[in-house]
Structure formats: structure tokens, C-alpha cells
Amino acid sequence: MIKEDLLKLSNDSKKELEGVYDIKQLNELKIKIFGKTGLLTTFSKAMRDVPVDEKPVIGAIINEIRKELEDKISEKEKYFKEKELNDKLEKEKVDITEPSKNNELGAIHPIASVTDKLIDICVSLGFSVVEGPEVETDYYNFEAMNIPKNHPSRDMQDTFFITENTLLRSQTSAVQAREMEKRKPPFKIICPGKTYRNESDSTHSPIFHQLEGLVVDEKISMADLKTMLTIIMKRLYGDETIIRFRPSFFPFTEPSIEVDVSCPNCHGKGCSICKGIGMLELLGAGIVNPKVLEISGIDSKKYSGFAFGFGLDRTAMILNSINNIKYLYKNDIRFLKQMQ
Ligand code: FA5
């Protein structure tokens, strides 16, 4: 009787093993057969009730069935493990011949692009690039630039003060005094960077960018300044650009000028970009006021200098026919794409 039961267990288990389709089911079947209360274990336990003379035969049958089932199970186990590995390899396969996805390329921001262009032009003309702090002292931003405390010319720049003597620099001219204190003439420097003023409309932003230029040497004259600016502007806007110098006022330069260029959109005819004037104001400049040289310890009898201050946002707007400065700060991808 026990023999038949063992044979039935062997056949049923083999059939069940054939239907197993994953490792989880296989483990469940293993427990069902070989577990503590498993089918074959139960038979092994029942051996103690088998008559002594039958014990060797029944024991041998149990061992044979155990061996056969264990072999079949480990074969299946091997098959499932290989299958799992193959499935994983197939899923993770990289087809290196497949064309790559179209990744969107970024564009250089118009302000960064114009800054780079101007730096390249100035460096090719012998200028060195310097930097200064954006959080500046009242001294370097104003006093060393011949703008004493309470002087009415401070009204020209609506400044963000942090404390009585600390502010967000309103002009890169602040770097002039820092460099003049450090250097011995002759020298030619430019300083690009962020500047801040409390103003906001279509051509003014509270954060904007300037590029300051300063040359100090013996016998520097207005002719040198005009020549230098003409070369820079023509390289930036093209040879056919018309340049106009107008008298102006800055406390740190004497005489002072403002410089206009013919509108690159209409070439002087008048359009919406230049508001019908045909020319666009671009920068302030002048011969460094001897007082400014003296404040920074430079002998104004021996040396003279010229300085200029480009508005980089304005320059970028003119080069790209942008009619509102706000577009430069919105980071709208549609706008930036047009600048490519
Ligand atoms: C100055 O800031 C002088 N430091 C320039 C200078 C340097 C003169 C060296 C002489 C010698 P002004 O305030 O005009 O000057 O500003 C220079 C340029 O900065 C302007 O022509 C304009 O293009 C730009 N600018 C000024 N304020 C703003 C603003 N709020 N937003 C955007 N651009 C501005």
C-alpha cells in the first residue's frame, strides 16, 4: 500500500513540476514536497511504522524518489535562473547603431554673447580683463569717482544702499579707483559685470550689465579716446556704422561725451527700434578727471587717461533688434531660441 502511495506522490509531483512556470512556484512546490510537513517528509516519518523486513525496500524507494525529484527541481531551477538572466540582458541591451535622440541644444544668452564679443575686441587691442565686487563701498562707487556724499550728481544713479556706506554698485566705474590704487601707469583695463539701479521700464532694468574701460598713460588725449571707441564700435557693429560723439557730463571725466551709433536695424533712416531717430545712445566716456587720478595716488601732471562705460544690455538689444529690456531677463525659451 505504501509503495503505491509513494509511486502516486512521485507521479503527481513530476506532473506538477512540469506545470511550474516561475521560480516562486518552484519554491512553493519544493516546500510542499520536502518541507517540515511536506509530502515526502511525512512518508519518511512514517517509516517507523513499516515492518522491519520491508524497511530497506521502502527506504530505498523513498531515497530514489527524493533523488529523482531533487534532480528535476534543480534542473528547473537552473533553467529559470538562466531565463531570468537572459531576459535581463535582453531588456538592458543597448543598440549602439540606433540613431541618438534629438537633444535640444541651448543657446548663448544675448548678454553673454555681446560681453564675449566686446572682451575679445578689447583684448585684441591690448586691454586686460579685471573684476570688482558687486557689493561695493560708497567710497569706490562714488567718492573716489569725484562724487562726494550729498552731491546732487548722485541723483543720476538711483542707488540701492545696503548700509550707509555699503551698496550694490551702480556703475562698473567703481572698479576704476580699485585698479588705479593697485597699478602703476601705463595700463589698459576693462571690467565687465553686473550693476544695479532702482529703475525699470522698457530700456532700464534694476539689474543690468556694463563694461568699463580705462587707459592711463602719458599724453592721453580725446583723440585717443575717439579713435579707440571708433575701432571698437566698427568691429562690433560693422564698418559702415556711423558714430556720433556728443558732449555730456560725468563727475569723473572732464570733458565727457556720450556716444551714439547708427541704428543697425534701419541704418540711420529711422524705425521703431531707434524711435525714428536713426541713432542709438550706447555709452558714456571721457578724459579721466585729474581729481580722480589724484584721489587714487596717480600723478595727474605726468599721467592722463580716458575711460568709457558700455551698457551691455543696450548693446545686446541693438545687435539683436530687441525692443524691451525685460525679454533679456525672462528666460523664455521661445525668445532665447530666436537669438541663436
Ligand atoms: C555711467 O554709468 C558711467 N559710469 C559711464 C562712464 C564710464 C562714463 C566711464 C564716463 C567714463 P550712465 O549712467 O550713462 O553712465 O550708464 C552707462 C550706460 O549704462 C547707459 O548708456 C546705458 O546703456 C546703461 N544703463 C544705465 N542704466 C541702465 C539700466 N537701468 N538698465 C539698463 N542699462 C542701463
Domains belonging to the chain, first-starting first, are: 2-91 (no CATH), 110-338 (3.30.930.10)
CA of 17 to the centre of ligand 1 (A): 86
The answer to whether residues 292 and 305 touch, using CB atoms and an 8 Å cutoff, is no
Q: Please tell me the residue having the least CA distance from ligand 1 atom 20.
A: 311
251 lines ligand 1 (CB under 6 A): no
SS3 call for 210: strand
* pTM for the predicted model, two decimal places: 0.72
Cell 598713460 identifies what position?
217
Q: Please tell me the residue having the least CA distance from ligand 1 atom 7.
A: 309
Q: Please tell me the residue having the least CA distance from ligand 1 atom 26.
A: 311
Alpha carbons 145 and 181: distance in angstroms, whole number = 12
And the C-alpha cell for 337? 531660441
289 lines ligand 1 (CB under 6 A): no
pLDDT (tens digit, 0 to 9) for every residue of the chain, 340 residues total? 678 888 888 888 889 888 888 888 888 988 888 888 888 888 778 778 888 888 888 888 888 988 998 899 999 899 989 998 999 998 888 888 888 888 777 788 999 999 999 999 999 999 999 999 999 999 999 999 999 998 988 988 999 999 999 999 999 999 999 999 999 999 999 999 999 999 998 889 999 999 999 999 999 999 999 999 999 999 998 888 889 999 999 999 999 999 998 887 788 888 877 778 888 888 999 999 999 999 999 999 999 999 999 999 988 988 888 888 999 999 888 888 887 6
CA of 330 to the centre of ligand 1 (A): 22
And the C-alpha cell for 109? 544668452
Alpha carbon 82 to chain centroid distance? 46
| Ligand 1 pocket mutation pick from 195, 281, 283, 318 by most atoms within 8 angstroms of CB | 283
* Res 189: pLDDT: 97
Alpha carbons 145 and 116: distance in angstroms, whole number = 27
Residue spans of alpha helices (H) in the chain: 2-19, 23-34, 39-46, 55-91, 110-124, 138-141, 174-182, 222-237, 290-295, 312-320, 327-330, 333-338
Alpha carbons 253 and 257: distance in angstroms, whole number = 9
Q: How far is CA 48 from CA 9, 33, 44, 45, 62, in A?
A: 19, 19, 8, 7, 13
Instruction: Establish whether the linkage from the previous residue to 255 is cis, with ω within 30° of 0.
Output: yes
Q: Please tell me the residue having the least CA distance from ligand 1 atom 27.
A: 204
CA of 27 to the centre of ligand 1 (A): 79
175 lines ligand 1 (CB under 6 A): no
Alpha carbons 35 and 48: distance in angstroms, whole number = 19
* Res 8: pLDDT: 87
